[in-house]
Structure formats: structure tokens, C-alpha cells
């Protein structure tokens, strides 16, 4: 049965990538090889933006989070300014992006918790930690619920965990990846057992893309729209 599911997911992702391009994890930059301050600044900016983008991308396609982070940094000096800005001003900058207010609220909660913990907003610091350290730190912040935390682990740090989301469960059942009455936790365990981290990241992206615009996904989209 695992081979069947793996094959179905692989086929879905291949078709999606033919139309929309390859789905890839964000590119976290390693520390610069030299002590060049300008090179270190580039790495810090890139990796901090990835962290913020991961938070902004929860409950949707990761690319939406990436785009949102870029929009905010185009208007604000740094993430500390984002932390203390009016939520309505931040949401307006995201334009018509879905759930803009909720995305901004979650980001500001995360930034505040991070600041109180570290007394700085050097978000790139998370990528200097070992995997188990980053995982524990994010959980200890107590900002994310169970679903969100799993999504942060997967989309930002390549941990092989799938979010136990009701939305993703429903979409998975509608397009034939899960049997009826499968619970979100059972779904997550099933995907984690059968799929690689790259496949889970791709499936997470694909499912939210179908939810957002079923008309772009042919027969799969029709199944979702019928629901």
C-alpha cells in the first residue's frame, strides 16, 4: 500500500511541477568561509527572511510566505520594526494575499516571543543550531499549535513531519490519497511513514495550491470543488 501512495503522490507532483516549476525547500545559506562582514550580512539577511517567510506561509503555500516576507522587508528596516508596527499596516502591505491579518498576527507573536527569549531579532540564529536544538527551541516558544509547529519543522527545517491538519486531511481524501474517516493524526503518520521529506513538502505545497485555486488543477480541482 505504501508503494501505491508514494506513486500517486509522485504523479501529482510531477504534473504540478510541469506547470508551475520545481518545488524546492528554501535555500538556507551556510556561514561564509571568510570573516568578511558583508558576506556575513548577506547570509544573515537571507536566512532571517526564510524564517519569517516560513511563519508567514503557515496554513497556505510556502511560496506565499516567501513573497510576504519580501514585501515586508521592502517597506521596513528590519524585523524589529515589523514586530512593533501596527498589524493593520502590515496586513495592508500584503494586499490580497489570503489570510493576511492572521499571517501578520502569527508573525508578530513569533517575533515578540523570539525577542523576549533572545533580546534580539537575529532570526538567522535558528540556522546555526543543531536540528534537535532548533526543534526544541521552537516548541519552547509556545507560539505555534501542533499543526503549525509540524509545518514549521517541515517547511523551514526539513524535519520529516507532516502537519496533522483538518484542511489537508479533507483535501487528501477528496483527491483519493486517503480512505474516508482517516483522522488528521493518522494522515500525518501515514505520510511520514511512506513519503520522503521532499515529497511531504511537495504534497503540502500541492494541496494548498489546489485549495486556493481548484480551476488550475483539472480533474483534481473538480473533486475539490464538488466538496
The string of pLDDT tens digits covering residues 7-26 is: 999 999 999 999 999 999 99
Sign of CA dihedral 143, 148, 127, 139: positive
Q: Which of 86, 83, 46 lies closest to 66, judged by CA? A: 46
Same-domain check for residues 186 and 98: no
Quick check: 31 pLDDT over 90?
A: no
Integer Cα distance of 223 and 184 in angstroms: 19
Mean pLDDT of 204-219: 94
Same-domain check for residues 86 and 53: yes
- Domain range for 18 is 2-23+161-226
Identify the pLDDT of residue 226: 67
Integer Cα distance of 190 and 194 in angstroms: 6
Identify the pLDDT of residue 227: 56
- Which residues, including other chains, have CB under 8 Å from residue 114's CB and lie 6 or more apart? 121, 123, 141
Domain count, the chain: 2
Same-domain check for residues 166 and 147: no
Rounded to whole angstroms, what are the CA distances from 95 to 25, 45, 58, 72, 92? 25, 23, 17, 11, 5
Identify the pLDDT of residue 35: 77
CATH (domain of 87): 1.10.340.30
φ/ψ of 165, rounded to 5, equals -100, 135
What is the percent of the chain where pLDDT is above 90? 89
Mean residue pLDDT across the chain: 95
- DSSP-derived letter for residue 28 is P
Residue 193 lies in a domain: yes
Q: Indicate the burial class of 97 (C-beta count within 10 angstroms; 0-12, 13-18, 19 or more).
A: middle
Mean pLDDT of 82-93: 96
Quick check: 1 pLDDT over 70?
A: no
Residue 65 lies in a domain: yes
Residue 30 lies in a domain: no
Same-domain check for residues 47 and 137: yes
- pTM of the shown model: 0.95
CB distance 121 to 111 below 8 Å: yes
| CA 224-158-144 angle, 5° bins | 70
Residue 184 lies in a domain: yes
pLDDT-derived band at 96, boundaries 50, 70, 90:
confident
Amino acid at each position: 500500500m505504501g508503494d501505491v501512495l508514494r506513486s500517486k503522490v509522485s504523479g501529482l507532483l510531477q504534473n504540478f511541477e510541469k506547470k508551475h516549476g520545481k518545488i524546492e525547500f528554501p535555500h538556507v545559506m551556510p556561514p561564509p568561509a571568510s570573516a568578511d562582514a558583508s558576506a556575513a550580512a548577506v547570509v544573515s539577511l537571507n536566512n532571517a527572511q526564510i524564517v519569517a517567510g516560513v511563519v508567514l506561509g503557515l496554513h497556505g503555500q510556502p511560496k506565499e510566505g516567501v513573497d510576504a516576507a519580501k514585501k515586508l522587508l521592502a517597506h521596513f528596516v528590519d524585523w524589529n520594526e515589523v514586530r512593533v508596527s501596527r498589524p493593520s499596516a502590515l496586513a495592508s502591505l500584503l494586499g490580497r494575499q489570503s489570510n493576511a491579518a492572521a499571517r501578520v498576527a502569527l508573525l508578530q507573536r513569533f517575533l515578540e516571543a523570539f525577542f523576549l527569549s533572545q533580546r534580539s531579532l537575529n532570526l538567522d540564529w535558528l540556522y546555526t543550531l543543531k536540528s534537535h536544538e532548533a526543534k526544541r527551541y521552537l516548541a519552547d516558544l509556545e507560539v505555534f499549535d501542533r499543526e503549525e509547529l509540524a509545518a514549521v519543522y517541515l517547511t523551514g527545517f526539513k524535519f520529516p513531519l507532516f502537519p496533522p491538519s483538518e484542511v489537508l486531511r479533507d483535501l487528501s481524501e477528496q483527491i483519493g490519497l486517503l480512505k474516508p474517516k482517516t483522522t488528521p493524526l493518522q494522515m500525518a503518520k501515514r505520510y511520514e511513514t511512506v513519503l520522503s521529506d521532499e515529497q511531504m513538502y511537495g504534497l503540502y505545497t500541492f494541496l494548498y495550491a489546489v485549495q486556493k485555486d481548484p480551476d488550475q488543477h483539472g480533474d483534481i480541482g473538480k473533486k475539490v470543488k464538488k466538496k
